[in-house]
Chains A and B, each alone.
Chain A
Amino acid sequence: MKRRVKLTFPQQLIKEPVIFTMAKKYDVLPNIRRARVTDTVGEMILELEGEEVNLEKGIQALRDQGIEVELIEGDVIE
């Protein structure tokens, strides 16, 4: 399955290969569509493809490192 997500990176992780590491460990295929990076924070819009259980584990691993993982739609509860 595929999931479209927005990642927000804190400053200390901007230089780390977190996407590559997660992709390799959980067998998830990342397809980066857009990114916006400043000195202090980074944002990346991408599609993740893989087995549902692997996607869940991969996303959790990103969160555990301090990356915000959100829907690309933004919060839909208004």
Chain B
Amino acid sequence: MGYVSGLKCRECGREYPVDPIYVCEFCFGPLEVVYDYKRIKRVLTRKNIEKREKNLWRYKELLPINGEPQVGLQSGFTPLVKADNLARELGVRELYIKDDTVVHPTLSFKDRVVAVALTKAKEFGFDTVACASTGNLAHSVSAHGAKAGFKRFVFIPATLEQSKIVASLVYEPNLVAVDGNYDEVNRLCSEIANKYKWAFVNINIRPFYAEGSKTQGFEIIEQLGWEAPDNVVVPCASGSLLTKVWKAFKEFKEIGILKELGTKVFAAQATGCSPIAAAIKQGTDVIRPVKPNTVAKSLAIGNPADGFYASQVVKATNGYGEDVSDEEIIDGIKLLARTEGIFSETAGGVTIATTKKLIEQGRIGRNETTVVCITGNGLKTQEALTGHTAEVHYIKPNLGAFEETLNKIQSAR
């Protein structure tokens, strides 16, 4: 027996039963999962959580399932790394990296949302799951869906690079490459989701799927010793992750697990696709769609479904939205790797570079505690670093050649 009381429209507040639906029939607003916090408060305590397995389901009462978790039993509870070297470099006192480069099984935070979506899909009785993706989501639906025994349909634009296709194909989903531009692929997937009785994770299952992102927020609080940070910097694609990290913080406050909450939430985007950051900077409530052009492909959502809600969270918490160039993104990836030994995908470069900018602007205080969300592994987007890394020292197989090179390395320091 779960703790969900129903679905509710974020715009008009109309209530709906728990069904695989995602949009209000009246105002077309998105639907959000609503919980019975009074009941949750009685059962979910710090002590109970601490006794549980170290995976994302340790907060299961605050996730939208009825029965026991069925998918992603090894997902989540990733390290919160105290990043002293990076903090020194950026000139701040206390900095943490929420390291979702190592989520099981496909090395991005999408394993969290898909674990929740597929558990819910089982509860609804679906035998087929689907998604449209150019990367991380495709990998996660393919892998989690294989383990859970679903038929899987993964839609990609036909122009997608081979390296990204292999990381999905190995799990043997039905991979459908659509020959059309980005808008055409989007529209087709929406039509398919509305016609076929499948669990399309980020369309008809979206209200449940998105809730999985809260686990990153819950973990941050728990791993900080049940305290909220002064600042959290979250990368934005659809904007959903940012709103859910904040929802997680608020829920912990609501049920009494968190005593104080005054966190500022900051949105990080690439300049080549920054509709949310632009709206925040301009102080407008309308998110203007853009055509993405950035090396940070996993954040390249030009028409973000949750952009408005993300901008409202930023506004309400006195945070800010900033964007960074492709060059700054690459530098961000290298900075994190060089200082903390963490190899992030391009989205992580966005978050690190944005954090640096926010510190320089004085929007993040040098004596405050800041958590930076890193959402995917760099091994997935290695091509972004081509020509930007340090160089290999090639030598002949003899000691003289090595020592000659060693001298060069030492004199270069």
Contacts and interface: CB of A to CB of B under 8 A. Distances in A.
Interface of A: 4, 6, 8, 33-34, 36-38, 40-43, 45, 47, 68, 70-78
B132 A8 contact: no
B286 A74 contact: no
B132 A74 contact: no
Contact of B186 (A38, A42, A77): A77
Interface secondary structure of B, over-half rule: loop
B133 A72 contact: no
Interface string B217-248: 00000000000000000000110000000000
A68 B289 contact: yes
A77 B154 CA distance: 10
7 contacts: A6-B303, A38-B286, A71-B303, A72-B28, A76-B190, A77-B182, A78-B301
Given A45-B29, A75-B303, A77-B185, 20 more contacts: A6-B303, A8-B289, A33-B28, A34-B27, A34-B28, A38-B285, A70-B289, A71-B187, A72-B23, A73-B203, A73-B305, A74-B303, A74-B306, A76-B190, A76-B193, A76-B200, A77-B157, A78-B132, A78-B134, A78-B238
B302 to A, nearest CB: 6
B23 A40 contact: no
B26 A78 contact: no
Contact of B189 (A45, A47, A72, A77): A77
B134 A77 contact: yes
A74 B189 CA distance: 12
A6 B200 CA distance: 21
Interface in B156-190: 157, 182, 185-187, 189-190
Contacts of B186: 71, 75-77
Contacts of A78: 110, 131-134, 136-137, 202, 237-238, 301
A75 B305 contact: yes
A25 B186 CA distance: 27
B304 interface: yes
A76 B189 contact: yes
